[in-house]
Amino acid sequence: MTEHAEYTDHHGPEGPAIRGTVVVVPGRGETRDTYTRLGRRLAADAYRVRVVDAVRLDADDPAGSLTRFGAQVAEAVAGTAGPDGVARPVVLVGADTGAVAVAALLGSGESAAADAVVLAGLPARTAASADWDDELDVRTFCPAHRSTLSGDSGFRRGALDEAVPEALLTAAYESEAEVPALILTGDADPLADRDALTRTAKSLPRARLSIVRDAHHDVLNDMQHRSVAAEIVTFLEALRNELVPLVTVESTAW
Q: Could you count the other beta carbons within 10 Å of the beta carbon of residue 137?
A: 16
- Number of C-alpha atoms within 13 angstroms, CB side, residue 152? 18
Contact indicator for 79, 87 with CB cutoff of 8 Å: no
Give the pLDDT confidence score for residue 42 in this predicted structure.
Answer: 96
This prediction has a pTM of 0.94
Of 173, 179, 194, the C-alpha closest to 235 is 179
Mean pLDDT over each residue of the chain, to the nearest integer: 92
Per-residue pLDDT reduced to its tens digit, 187-198: 999 999 999 999
Rounded-to-integer distance, Cα 53 and Cα 75, Å: 12
> What are the backbone angles phi and psi of residue 184, rounded to the nearest 5°?
-115, 130
Query: How many CB atoms neighbour CB 214 within 10 A?
Result: 11
With beta carbons less than 8 A apart as the criterion, state whether 70 and 194 touch.
no
Q: Give the single-character DSSP code of 87.
A: -
CA 180, CA 183: separation in Å to the nearest integer?
10
pLDDT tens-place string over residues 223-253: 999 999 999 999 999 999 999 999 999 999 9
> For residue 79, is pLDDT > 80?
no
* Spatial separation of the C-alpha atoms in residues 225 and 117, rounded to whole Å: 18
Nearest to 228 by CA among 116, 121, 123, 136: 121
Taking the chain, what is the end-to-end CA distance rounded to the nearest angstrom? 39
Q: Distance between CA 150 and CA 157 in Å, rounded?
A: 9
pLDDT in tens, 139-182: 999 999 999 999 999 999 999 999 999 999 999 999 888 899 99
Contact yes or no for 3/11 (Cβ under 8 A): no
